[in-house]
């Protein structure tokens, strides 16, 4: 029994080694197969791109072989015709992307070329020795890869014979160079070559190997190839197998890491099971303590929320009381003036009643006139007392559509008693009866009374006191502007105009404008004052939202 126990580590090590060796082999084969498929697709793609360029240039030679100007120039190669041919070839070369396009006569002499105006011009050169010239005259078309005799740059020559009356009279040649394609191959980072039937490298991403013989691929290189249709050429891509080795090594290392993690996990699992019971008990106690803490905290938060709700209710009540107190304070300020307004009609009523009694028998018409005057006076007293009751009534605090004319005229009536003692000239706007705004009649009246009272107090000591009220409307708002010619707002007061307890009045609390501002804000209105300007008095704006039609 002791021998197997001693062999267990060795057996485990052997199993691990076999497993990792299998991973290396399988991962390497899979990576090499994937690389081969990818490179084969890449080879086919590069062949298609190369053939597309060659087919385009072949089409150029075929089109030019039937061109009327080319035929005419080969029959009568005058300087004018050959110059026109060269210019046409130059334009076509720029459009097609070929290196050079030129026309050879029956003797192999270049009579026109697209590079006619360059130092390396082909015009006048003899190419009768070229295979592509002789083969085109014989077979109609030809292809040859060679170094240029003038440019000394390698390229593929595509030729097509020009036939007239069944006999060849010349050859059109397009030279195609491939620096852009070879540069794109070089950027891929893999050796790419195009070889002919003899294995000679014609096009390559490694220019130093051009015209060399293609050597067999080594054991560390994966070779993929694809033929070029119509040409006895083959495109070959040589990819190093270093990435395959790296993938196999990475897979083996990953497998080793996984095996190690499995071993460590098994060991850790045994330890976790021993700790599970203790953790479960600890968690049970923790949950019980947490539930108790949550219950206590919930109870405390509930009490805090109830206390906050009660405090908010008290605050709303105090705010409403403060608004009402401010209203009653304003009512007290205008009571003396209202008493004067009522006493004058009452005195008139008493006098007219006494006269009516004396004139009742002898002067019935004068008696009737006196009675009409008494009715008007009592109506006036009724309007004053009704406005006082409405102003003193506690607001319901709801926002609705109200006719702006009603609270405005009531506020003017309540403050009118200040006009005569101070000789104030009051200019009022004509407010349409159908102009309705969003607000609440009593509170809107309170805001207007506050603004008019402030204006009256501001002009009390002015020799030519004036208060101007104007109305401006647009599609959505109606704005009342109340301006006076008093001393204006001090700069320090204007900076904190709507801050509580900021006032210039002796004995004032500085709450009137604050309350008016809050009331306006409650029903979506805006109240603001223009910046103070010396000698221009104070100007306040109350912008109200129009009620929906």
Domain positions in the chain are 14-57+180-240, 66-177, 396-545
Please name the residues in contact with 514: beta carbons below 8 A apart, sequence gap of 6 or more.
498, 499, 500
Inter-CA distances, 531 with 153, 273, 451, 492, 510, Å: 84, 78, 16, 11, 19
Whether 447 contacts 516, CB under 8 Å: yes
According to the model, what pLDDT value does residue 291 have? 82
- Fold that domain 396-545 belongs to in CATH: Heat Shock Protein 90 (3.30.565)
Distance, in Å, from the CA atom of 504 to the CA atom of 118, rounded to the nearest integer, reads 96
Tell me the Cα Rg of the chain.
54
Choice among 237-246, 353-362, 399-408, 472-481 with the minimum mean pLDDT: 353-362
Q: Are 119 and 112 in contact (CB under 8 A)?
A: no
CA-based torsion, 141, 143, 144, 148: positive or negative: positive
Residue 348's pLDDT is 66
Give the pLDDT confidence of 17-68 residue by residue, as tens digits.
Answer: 887 788 766 776 777 678 778 888 888 888 888 888 888 888 998 899 889 8
Chain centre distance of CA 477? 32
Summary mean pLDDT of the chain: 80
Instruction: Give Cα 154 to chain centroid, integer Å.
Output: 54
Mean pLDDT of 459-467: 88
Angle of helix 364-392 versus helix 405-415 axis, rounded to 10: 110
For 377, residues 6+ apart whose C-beta sits below 8 A from its C-beta are 345, 346, 348, 349, 352
Cα–Cα distance for residue pair 347/367, rounded to 1 Å: 17
Tokens of 7: 């062999």
What average pLDDT does range 130-141 have in this prediction?
Answer: 91
What is the homologous superfamily of the domain 14-57+180-240 according to CATH?
Answer: PAS domain (3.30.450.20)
What is this structure's pTM? Answer: 0.41
Looking at residue 395, what is its pLDDT? Answer: 54
Q: At what angle do helices 441-458 and 364-392 cross, to 10 degrees?
A: 100
Helix then strand count (H, E) for the chain reads: 12, 16
**Bridge partner residues of 193 (DSSP):** 204, 236
Which pLDDT score, from 0 to 100, does residue 336 have? 47
What is the H or E stretch that residue 71 is in?
Answer: helix 68-75
Same fold, 14-57+180-240 and 396-545: no
pLDDT exceeds 90 at position 423: no
3-state secondary structure of 432: coil
**Spatial distance between the Cα atoms of 159 and 182, rounded to a whole number of angstroms:** 23
pLDDT tens digits, 289-327: 888 888 778 787 877 888 787 667 665 655 555 555 555
Considering 73-77, 152-156, 352-356, 532-536, the range whose residues carry the highest mean pLDDT is: 73-77
Distance in angstroms (rounded) separating the CA atoms of residues 378 and 427: 27
pLDDT at 376 over 70: no
Paired tokens of 525: 């209105």
Contact 497, 503 (CB under 8 A): no
Q: Which residues contact 346 (CB under 8 A, 6 or more apart)?
A: 377, 381
The dihedral sign for the CA sequence 118, 119, 125, 129: negative
CA distances, 387 to each of 236, 421, 428, 441 (Å): 105, 21, 19, 11
Output 314 or 393, whichever has higher pLDDT.
314
What is the 3-class SS of 79-93, one letter each residue?
A: HHHHHHHHHHHHHHH
Whether domain 66-177 has CATH 3.30.450.20: yes
Cross-strand partners of 100: 175
């Amino acid at each position: 029994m002791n021998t197997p126990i001693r062999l267990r580590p060795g057996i485990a090590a052997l199993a691990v080694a076999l497993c990792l060796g299998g991973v290396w082999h399988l991962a390497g084969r899979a990576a090499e197969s994937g690389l081969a498929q990818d490179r084969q697709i890449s080879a086919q793609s590069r062949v298609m791109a190369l053939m597309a360029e060659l087919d385009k240039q072949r089409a150029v030679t075929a089109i030019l072989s039937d061109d009327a100007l080319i035929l005419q120039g080969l029959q009568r190669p005058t300087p004018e015709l050959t110059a026109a041919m060269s210019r046409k070839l130059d334009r076509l070369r720029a459009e097609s992307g070929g290196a050079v396009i030129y026309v050879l006569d029956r003797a192999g002499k270049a009579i026109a070329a697209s590079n006619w105006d360059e130092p390396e011009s082909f015009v006048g050169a003899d190419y009768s020795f070229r295979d592509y010239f002789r083969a085109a005259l014989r077979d109609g078309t030809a292809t040859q890869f060679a170094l240029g005799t003038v440019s000394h740059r390698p390229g593929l020559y595509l030729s097509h014979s020009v036939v007239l009356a069944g006999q060849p009279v010349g050859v059109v040649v397009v030279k195609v160079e491939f620096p852009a394609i070879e540069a794109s191959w070089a950027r891929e980072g893999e050796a790419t070559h195009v070889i002919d039937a003899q294995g000679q490298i014609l096009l390559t991403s490694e220019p130093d190997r051009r015209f060399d013989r293609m050597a067999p691929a080594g054991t560390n290189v994966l070779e993929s190839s694809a033929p070029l249709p119509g040409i006895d050429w083959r495109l070959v891509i040589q990819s190093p197998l270093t990435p395959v080795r790296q993938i196999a090594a990475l897979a083996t290392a990953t497998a080793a890491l996984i095996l190690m993690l499995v071993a460590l996990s098994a060991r850790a699992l045994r330890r976790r099971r021993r700790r599970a019971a203790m953790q479960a008990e600890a968690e049970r106690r923790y949950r019980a303590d947490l539930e108790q803490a949550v219950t206590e905290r919930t109870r405390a938060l509930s009490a805090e929320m109830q206390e906050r709700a009660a405090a908010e209710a008290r605050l709303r009540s105090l705010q409403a009381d403060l608004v009402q107190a401010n209203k009653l304070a304003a009512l007290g300020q205008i009571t003396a003036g209202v008493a004067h307004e009522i006493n004058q009609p009452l005195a008139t009523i008493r006098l007219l009643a006494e006269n009516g009694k004396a004139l009742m028998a002898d002067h019935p018409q004068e008696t009737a006139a006196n009675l009409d005057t008494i009715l008007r006076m009592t109506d006036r007293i009724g309007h004053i007392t009704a406005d006082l009751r409405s102003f003193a009534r506690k607001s319901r605090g709801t926002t609705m559509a109200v006719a702006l004319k009603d609270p405005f005229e009531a506020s003017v009536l309540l403050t009118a008693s200040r006009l005569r003692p101070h000789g104030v000239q009051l200019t009022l706007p004509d407010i349409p009866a159908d102009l309705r705004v969003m607000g609440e009649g009593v509170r809107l009246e309170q805001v207007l009374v506050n603004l008019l009272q402030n204006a009256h107090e501001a002009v009390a000591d002015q020799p030519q006191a004036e208060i101007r009220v104007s109305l401006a409307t647009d599609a959505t708002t109606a704005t009342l502007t109340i301006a006076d010619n008093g001393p204006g707002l001090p700069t320090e007061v204007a900076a904190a105009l709507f801050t509580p307890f900021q006032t210039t009045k002796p004995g004032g609390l500085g709450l009137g404008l604050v309350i008016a501002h809050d009331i306006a804000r409650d029903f979506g209105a805006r109240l603001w004052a223009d910046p103070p300007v010396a000698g221009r008095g104070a100007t306040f704006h109350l912008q109200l939202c129009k009620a929906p039609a």
